[in-house]
Structure formats: C-alpha cells, structure tokens
Amino acid sequence: MNANTAEARQASQRGTAGGLSRPLEDTLDTRHGAILYLDDVTVSFDGFRALNKLTLDIGVGELRCVIGPNGAGKTTMMDVITGKTRPDSGSVFFGQTIDLTRHAEPEIAQLGIGRKFQKPTVFEAMSVQENLELALAGDKSVRASLMARLTGAARTRIDELLVTIRLADLRQRPAGLLSHGQKQWLEIGMLLAQEPRLLLLDEPVAGMTDAETEKTAELLCSLRGRHSMMVVEHDMDFVGQIAQKVTVLAEGRVLAEGSLAQVQADERVIEVYLGR
C-alpha cells in the first residue's frame, strides 16, 4: 500500500472528491487484489490511542475475521472505515483510488460499504418482505417506496434474498415476531439488497442459539467470494467455522495474522487475549 498511496490519493482527488461523481463500477479499482487498505491509521481520544498506526488490507471476496480483547480498537477501526470517525493520520482506501477519509458516512454507504451492528435494526411492524423492499428502494422515502409497484427484476431479487437468508417461508411474518437470529439474517438481507462490495459485521452471532449460529456460519460462507467481508467476533468456535484469515488486534494495532490455528498458537495472542 505504501508504494501506491500517493498515486491512489491523486486519483481519488481527481475522481471522487466532493461527491460520488461516477458509478461505483467505474471508480472501484481492485486490480491489485485488495478491496480495503488501512495504512498507518492512528486515532486518539483524549490522549488515548484507540488505533496506533494500524495497517491491514482485505482481499476481494475475502472473509476476514478480526478478534482481540476489549479496547483493542475493533469498533474504532470500523468507525474509521465507515466515516463515523476521522483518523488523526494515515490512509484508508476502498480499492486503489477511493480515499474514504474524504467522504461522509452516507457517501461511503453509497460507495458500496455496508455495516451491521451487533443489535439488529429492522422495521418490526413490517413484514420480512416489506423490510427487504425498503432496503431495495435505496434512498426513496418510506411512503413512496411502500406505494411503488415492484418491477419484475425487483421481485426476483427479493425472492433470491429470501432464499439466501433462509426466510423464504416467513416472508409475510412481521419482523417483530422473528427470533433474534432471524432478525439478524433479515438485517443482513437488507444490507445485501443494497449490493455492497464490502460488508462489516460486528459480532453477528451474539445472543444466538447454537442452531442459529451454525446457520449464520453457513450464510456467511455462502456469501464469500461474492462479497468481501470483515467480521468482528469473540466466539472462537464460530470464527473457526468461517475464517479464511484471522487478524488479532491489541492496543490499536495488528498483533498477529494468519489462520485461526496459527494465531491461537501465537504466544503473544495467548498472553493478551486467549489466556493460558
């Protein structure tokens, strides 16, 4: 990333500064195989360094798991990627040329980065299908979206999403009557409706039953390759089911990286996170 930072920054300033002037497919350059780059990112809050020269990258189509103790900087890292927090220094690039530090949160979402928080957020009075319809409608008003007739392509897309998130048989059920795990799947479906290139998932299986956790692992593995994903999680059994590569954060920087078996055997990781 360091060798390309200046070139990428110049391209970002030419092509994307001040708004989303071109479609995503014309601006997202992943010719080097990575979709996300964080280079020497530092964030401080009242003298505390939440991120300390953090450097990592996520490959196109990769499912990356990020683990680490509380206070390691995992949430701050996601906040920086999505534009909620501005770094004190360092670079954050989506593809080779889109400098995320130059965009606001709504713009970053439009660029193709979707974020799911730990607690599911769905419209509980509406049906599963209506939730997906709203997500598919993009930035239209709720009233206009509900009154609009779905095109054939939109109906097909919703049918596909319902199958993907394992809720096809519950399409007319009010979202408020779903189980916790089912609400999580619905929210993932709502993100997928917006065609994100990168998904950020914060503890997606927290509070789930064992059966729901297993189905969530199957769901995320089915999305691998079609979407790039960063999953922050504490459940090591779940991480073992889905992880291609694991990044361990500690004190705001990368402590270790590799397969789950590799990081679990790392003495530094054992010391600061896994315990003996």
Residues 130 and 63 in one domain: no
pLDDT number for residue 20: 38
Contact 253, 54 (CB under 8 A): yes
Domain limits for position 77: 28-112+196-275
Residues 40 and 161 in one domain: no
List pLDDT tens digits, range 150-194.
677 888 999 999 999 999 999 999 999 999 999 999 999 999 998
Residues 108 and 200 in one domain: yes
Contact 38, 30 (CB under 8 A): no
**In-domain check, residue 3:** no
pTM of the predicted protein model: 0.83
**In-domain check, residue 6:** no
Structure-token pair, residue 28: 């997202």
Domain boundary at 149, 164, 195, which? 195
pLDDT number for residue 22: 36
List pLDDT tens digits, range 43-95.
999 889 999 999 999 999 999 999 999 999 999 999 999 999 999 999 999 99
Number of domains in the chain: 2
Pick from 5-14, 89-98, 196-205, 233-242: least confident: 5-14
Domain boundary at 162, 195, 228, which? 195
**In-domain check, residue 8:** no
List pLDDT tens digits, range 104-130.
999 999 999 999 987 878 999 999 999
Residues 43 and 57 in one domain: yes
Residues 106 and 228 in one domain: yes
What's the CA gap between 91 and 194, in Å, rounded?
26
**In-domain check, residue 13:** no
**In-domain check, residue 9:** no
**Residue 52, H or E segment:** strand 48-59
Q: Of 180 and 8, which is predicted with more confidence?
A: 180
Domain boundary at 195, 221, 254, which? 195
pLDDT number for residue 144: 52
Contact 83, 89 (CB under 8 A): no
**In-domain check, residue 67:** yes
pLDDT number for residue 47: 85
Rg of the chain over all Cα atoms, to the nearest angstrom: 19
pLDDT number for residue 250: 95
Structure-token pair, residue 162: 């319902």
pLDDT at 137 over 70: no
**Residue 81, H or E segment:** helix 74-81
Residues 66 and 167 in one domain: no
